[in-house]
Amino acid sequence: MQPFDSLPSPVQKVLLQLEEKDRKEREVGLDRLQRLRQIPRETGEFLFQFLLTFSSQFPDFVGLEIGTSGGYSTIWQGMALVKNDHGRLISLDHDPKKFQFASKNITSIEVSQFIELIHGDAKDYLKKSQEKFNYVFLDCEKEDYLYFFNLLVNRLSRGTVLIADNVISHADDMQEFIIQIKGDSKVSSVILPVGRGLAFVRWI
Ligand SMILES: C[S@@+](CC[C@H](N)C(=O)[O-])C[C@H]1O[C@@H](n2cnc3c(N)ncnc32)[C@H](O)[C@@H]1O
C-alpha cells in the first residue's frame, strides 16, 4: 500500500487538488514567487512515514516548517500527527496569499488541531520565539538555508532532525549549506535521493 492510500478520502481530495494546481502553475510557467512550488508526493510520503515513527519518541513533540505555501507539505506532516494523535507542527509563511490559501486548505480537513499556521517571516519568528523544536522542515528560499541552519545549530539539541528540500535539484545554490552541514561536528548528515533531494541532518 502507498502511504497516500492510507489517508482519509477528504484529505486525499485536498492533496489531489493541490497537486493539480501546482502542476498547472508549472505548465503555464507562472512566476516562481506566485507558484505553490510544493514538494512532490514522494517527499510528502517520506515525511509522513518518517514522522509517524519519529514524532512518537518525544512526549511533547514540536515540529517547525519554514515555507507553508498552500499547505501541501504541512498536510502530509500533520497527518502523521493525526494518526498518532500526538504532537504539534508550527508552519510559517510570509506571503499573505499563501497563508490564507493554506489556512483554507488545512481547516477544511481534520488536521488543524495539530497544526499552528503562522503568517510571518521565519527569521523574525525564530528571533522572538523560545519554542524548543524536535524537528524542522526547511523549504523556503534556497539562499536562506545556510542562514536558518546557522540560526538553529546551537539552539537545537541531540536527537533533533532537520530535513531540507531541493538539495539535489538546486545543488549549485546549496553548496555552502551542504559544506556547512557536512563540516559541523554538532550534526551528522546524509543526502537522500527522495523527490528533489533531501538533506537529512541529525543533531548528535
Ligand atoms: C517552496 S515553497 C514551500 C512549499 C511547501 N513546503 C509545500 O511543499 O507545499 C516556499 C515558501 O516559503 C515561503 N517563504 C520564503 N521565505 C520565507 C521566510 N523567510 N519566512 C516565511 N516564509 C518564507 C514562500 O512565501 C513560499 O510560500
* pLDDT tens column, 148-200: 999 999 999 999 999 999 999 999 999 999 999 999 999 999 999 999 999 99
> Is pLDDT above 90 for 125?
yes
Ligand 1 pocket: which of 15, 66, 79, 97 to mutate (most atoms within 8 A of CB):
66
Question: Residue of the nearest CA to atom 25 in ligand 1?
Answer: 95
Read off the CATH number of the domain in which 28 is found: 3.40.50.150
Angle between helix 9-27 and helix 72-84 axes, rounded to 10 deg: 160
Is the pTM here over 0.95, yes or no? Answer: yes
Question: Which domain covers residue 99, as residue numbers?
Answer: 3-203
> Is pLDDT above 90 for 122?
yes
Question: Residue of the nearest CA to atom 12 in ligand 1?
Answer: 67
Mean pLDDT value across the chain: 96
pLDDT of residue 130: 87
Question: What band does 9 get if pLDDT is binned at 50, 70 and 90?
Answer: very high
Domains contained in the chain, number? 1
Ligand 1 pocket: which of 140, 145, 149, 194 to mutate (most atoms within 8 A of CB):
140
The 10s digit of each residue's pLDDT in 52-105 is 999 999 999 999 999 999 999 999 999 999 999 999 999 999 999 999 999 999
